[in-house]
Amino acid sequence: MASSPDATASNGSSPETPESGSAAGQGRRGRVRLRRAAVMAVPATAVAAGLMIATAQGALGVQFAISGMPFTVTATELNGTGFEQFGGLDNMAEGSPNAGDTGGQVLVVTSAIRNATLDHLCQSVDLGGTNLLITAGSGADKVQATNLTTDSTELSGNASFNNIEIGNDASTLTKAGVQGPIGVFSQQADTVRIANLRQTNYATTAGVFKLPGLKLRFSEQGC
């Protein structure tokens, strides 16, 4: 979803220990923080590289405690068959430092797509001072996902739908095989196309997630 070079003396001699207020000391502490951030980001890498989480029919898209750290997803184009969308709540792990005054809950819009392809996928996570950046599907092969769900707080793009139904009860949805809570407003469609997609997400699950041309790196810029 990368290691820093060790700080060693070029002449082979042991470096002097910098004073706590020196620029060298601050630089080393910065590298330590970056390494810690990279370690914390490893689970996100594993998820993006080969997410194989089964999405149970009749359940909400997310079946795990979210970190509470939002991430950005963009694509030049998304095409999907079997589309559903409804509201829900995601929950953080108990005692999460990211809970703030939210009580550990985030109000989200869950989008479910039975089969999806995405062009030029980009995902970035702000780790504080640097971004963990993932790109895929920028060549001839597109990113492919089955039973894809995303839990978002923001979504934008130019969208078009075929055979859309608006105002369904979320518990009665049929197009993507996922049902939401009873009494919740929802919509569904046979197909969806979104150009210039941009999302702020808190969770993603998929039955299969294929990422051709995957590249992962740290970057000053996010998606």
Query: Whole-prediction pTM value?
Result: 0.73
| CB-based contact 96:66 (threshold 8 Å) | no
Q: Residue 65: is its pLDDT beyond 60?
A: yes
Query: Where residue 5 falls among pLDDT bands split at 50, 70, 90?
Result: very low
Query: Where residue 22 falls among pLDDT bands split at 50, 70, 90?
Result: low
Radius of gyration of the chain (CA): 21
Share of the chain above pLDDT 90, in %: 70
SS3 annotation, the chain: CCCCCCCCCCCCCCCCCCCCCCHHHHHHHHHHHHHHHHHHHHHHHHHHHHCCCCCCCCCCCCCCCECCCCEEEEEEEEEEEEEEEEEEEEEECCCCCCCCCCCCEEEEEEEEEEEEEEECEEEEEECCCCEEEEEECCCCCCEEEEEEEEEEEEEEEEEEEECCEEEEEHHHCCCCCCCCCCCCEEEEEEEEEEEEEEEEEEEEECCEEECCCCEEEEECCCC
User: Which residues make Cβ contacts (< 8 Å) with residue 215, sequence separation at least 6?
Assistant: 134, 135, 136
Mean local confidence (pLDDT), 40-56: 35
The 10 Å CB-count burial string (b at 16+, else e) for 61-78 is: bbeeebbbbbbbbbbbbb
Q: Write out pLDDT tens, residues 140-165.
A: 999 999 999 999 999 999 999 999 99
pLDDT at 184: 95
**Candidate from 32-46, 81-95, 111-125, 147-161 with smallest mean pLDDT:** 32-46
Mean local confidence (pLDDT), 61-71: 86
pLDDT at 46: 34
Selected residue with higher pLDDT from 217 and 19 = 217
Q: Give me the chain's average pLDDT, please.
A: 81
Q: Residue 195: is its pLDDT beyond 90?
A: yes
Selected residue with higher pLDDT from 24 and 196 = 196
Selected residue with higher pLDDT from 130 and 49 = 130
